[in-house]
Amino acid sequence: MSNLLNIGLTGLYAAQSQLSTTSHNITNAATPGYHRQTVQQSNATPLLKGGSFFGQGTVVDSVQRSYSQYLENQVQLSDNRRAEYAAYNLQVSQIDNLLADPTVGLSPAMSEFFGAVQDVSANPTNMASRQALLSTGEALVTRFQALDGRLAEIGQGVDADIVATVTGINSLAREIAELNQRILDSRATSGGAAANDLLDLRDRAVTELNKLVRVTTLPQSDGTLSVFIGSGQRLVLGNDAAQLGTAPGTGEGGGFGVTLIGRDGTPSPLSESLLTGGSLGGMLAFRREALGTVQRDLGLIATSLAAAFNAQHRLGVDLDGMLGADFFSLAAPQVESSAATIEIDPAAIGALTSSSYELTVAGGNYTLTNLTTGAARTLAEGETFQGLKLTSVTGPDGTYLIEPTRRAVGEIRMGIVDARKVAAASPVAVAAVAGNAGSGRIGDIRVSSTDGMVSGASTVPDFNPFSLSWSGGTIGVPAGYTLASGNPPVADNSYDPATSGTGKTFTLTAAVGYSFTFTLAGTPADGDSFGFSPNTDGIADNRNAALLGALQTDKLMFDANGRPTATLNNAYAQLVSKVGNKAREVQAGEKAQDALLAQAEATRDSVSGVNLDEEAANLVRFQQAYQASARVMSVAQTLFDEMLAIGR
Crossing angle for the helix pair 127-190 and 69-100, to the nearest 10 degrees: 170
pTM: 0.85
588: phi then psi, degrees, rounded to nearest 5? -65, -40
Residue 135: burial class (beta carbons within 10 Å; 0-12, 13-18, 19+): middle
User: Does the N-terminal peptide bond of residue 534 adopt cis geometry, omega within 30 degrees of 0?
Assistant: no
The order of strands in the sheet holding 466-471 is 428-432, 528-534, 466-471, 474-476
Q: Measure the CA–CA gap between 199 and 208, rounded to whole angstroms.
A: 14
Q: Given this model, what pLDDT does residue 374 score?
A: 86
Segments making up each domain of the chain, as ranges? 2-68+613-647, 72-288+569-599, 301-414, 428-534
Q: Which residues of the chain have pLDDT under 50?
A: none
In three state form, how does the secondary structure of 269-291 look?
ECCHHHCCCHHHHHHHHHHHHHH
Q: Given this model, what pLDDT does residue 494 score?
A: 92
Secondary element (H or E) of residue 203? helix 196-212
User: Which amino acid is located at 378 in the chain?
Assistant: T
Q: Which residues contact 166 (CB under 8 A, 6 or more apart)?
A: 244, 245, 246, 258, 280
Q: Measure the CA–CA gap between 206 and 39, rounded to whole angstroms.
A: 26
Distance of CA 302 to the CA centre of its chain: 19
In 459-567, where does DSSP find H-type helix? 497-500, 543-550
Q: Given this model, what pLDDT does residue 231 score?
A: 73
Which DSSP string corresponds to 485-496? ETTTTEE--B--
Q: Measure the CA–CA gap between 608 and 487, rounded to whole angstroms.
A: 76
Which DSSP string corresponds to 303-329? HHHHHHHHHHHTTSB-TTSPBP--SEE
Q: Measure the CA–CA gap between 503 and 519, rounded to whole angstroms.
A: 6
Residue 519: burial class (beta carbons within 10 Å; 0-12, 13-18, 19+): middle
User: Would you give the DSSP letter of residue 31?
Assistant: S
User: Which amino acid is located at 604 in the chain?
Assistant: R
